[in-house]
Chain A
Amino acid sequence: MTDVTTNTSVEAAEGEARFGDYVALLKPRVMSLVVFTALVGLLVAPATVDPMIGFTAILFIALGGGASGALNMWYDADIDRVMRRTAKRPVPAGKVTAGEALSLGLWLSAISVAMLGLATNWLAAGLLAFTIFFYAVIYTMWLKRATPQNIVIGGAAGAFPPMIGWVAATGSISLEAVLMFGLIFMWTPPHFWALALFMKSDYHEAKVPMLTVTHGRAETRRQILIYTVLLVPVALGLGFTSVAGPVYLAAALVLNAIFLKGAWDIWRRDEETAQADSYATEKRVFRFSLYYLFLHFGALLIDAGLRSWGGA
């Protein structure tokens, strides 16, 4: 008998992963955006929510988002293995089996939808279920590998959390919730494509039709400008609804002017100029896009605080 083994497979053995590997399946960084935007949707809604019920709602909206991340990692393990950026994810790295990721995703989906329904209302739970379905099936299984507009339509999944937070508090969908959805939905393409321009990615090897690969970088620059122009009226329109106030309106004016200028600058540049300064403008606009979304929702929160303080 010997200790020497001939099993050199890199496939994960079931039950050998660390707890942190399962947490990584839930895409914690994406969850932080889900938590923040859902929290704002819940807090700015014209309804009083018990803190415990509010906490439970946000927790299970976040877990639902995490569940869709696990389902995404289960299905996309083949392309994640090919791309450098994703090769260290738990499934392609061989830490967690694809079956475990699927199982975790399905169970967390069921638990989060059921708990959100019991804690708040079934419309919010239905929206969460639809979001998980949209991200896991419509985006991951279908659009991502089929069309260069994948990021546009797939962005809807990331746009639902503030609407779910709002519906959890009020029990209904209103214009404010739709505009908060629209803000993230329209923001996603310029945000992501700005990143795609300077990140030397290997989507081509993975056979994922990214706009930069299928239609070229000049067209991607044009699309960034188009979507930013379409984003501005949505962002400013939200400023004239009941959830916004002077802080949001002032912030939206400044932020949209800067973002529009950035998109214009990206459109005016060609690849040679961009390469000469190591994509400085694209990197600047991408970084700014992160602050753009955070500050819009932060301003909504400040206005809600001012309203409740003024009304107290």
Chain B
Amino acid sequence: MPITETHDLHKRRLGRNIGVALSLVGFAAIVFGLTVAKIREGASMEAFDHQPRVSVTPPVESGQ
């Protein structure tokens, strides 16, 4: 039997690999879309990174 012959196992493996690949691409697309939506909603694009920065500190209420 030539080693190149396609067995049902290979078809199943290919189908599974395609399925996993599409799932991962879909997940990456969702994370990207979610990031865009969050930024569009006005979510902070910066986070605390060991250095106090005015841009990431919460605004002080006036009248205090």
Contacts and interface: CB of A to CB of B under 8 A. Distances in A.
Real binding pair: yes
Interface of A: 15-20, 22, 50, 52-53, 56, 59, 115, 118-119
8 contacts: A15-B13, A16-B12, A19-B19, A20-B15, A22-B16, A50-B37, A53-B34, A118-B34
Contact of B12 (A17, A50, A53, A115): A17
Contacts of A20: 15
B33 A52 contact: yes
B36 interface: yes
Nearest to A60: B30
B40 A19 contact: no
A13 to B, nearest CB: 10
Given A18-B12, A18-B15, A19-B15, 12 more contacts: A16-B12, A19-B18, A20-B15, A50-B41, A52-B34, A52-B37, A53-B38, A53-B41, A56-B30, A56-B33, A118-B34, A119-B34
Contacts of B19: 19, 22
A18 B37 contact: no
Interface residues of B, number: 16
B36 to A, nearest CB: 7
Interface string B18-29: 111000000000
B16 A17 contact: yes
Contacts of A59: 30
A53 B37 CA distance: 7
A15 B16 CA distance: 9
Contacts of A22: 16, 19
A19 B30 contact: no
Contacts of B13: 15
A50 B38 CA distance: 9
A56 B34 contact: yes
B47 interface: no
B10 to A, nearest CB: 11
Nearest to A18: B12
B9 interface: yes
B9 A16 contact: yes
B31 to A, nearest CB: 8
A119 B34 CA distance: 7
Contacts of A53: 34, 37-38, 41
Contacts of B34: 52-53, 56, 118-119
B15 to A, nearest CB: 5
A29 B13 CA distance: 25
A19 B16 contact: yes
Contacts of B9: 16
Contacts of A18: 12, 15-16
Q: Which of A16, A19, A115 has the most CB of B within 10 A?
A: A19
Nearest to A59: B30
A135 B62 CA distance: 49
Nearest to A50: B37
Contacts of A118: 34
A119 B43 CA distance: 12
Q: Which of B15, B16, B38 has the most CB of A within 10 A?
A: B16
A53 B42 CA distance: 14
Q: Which of A17, A18, A20, A22 has the most CB of B within 10 A?
A: A18
A273 B15 CA distance: 51
A118 B33 CA distance: 13
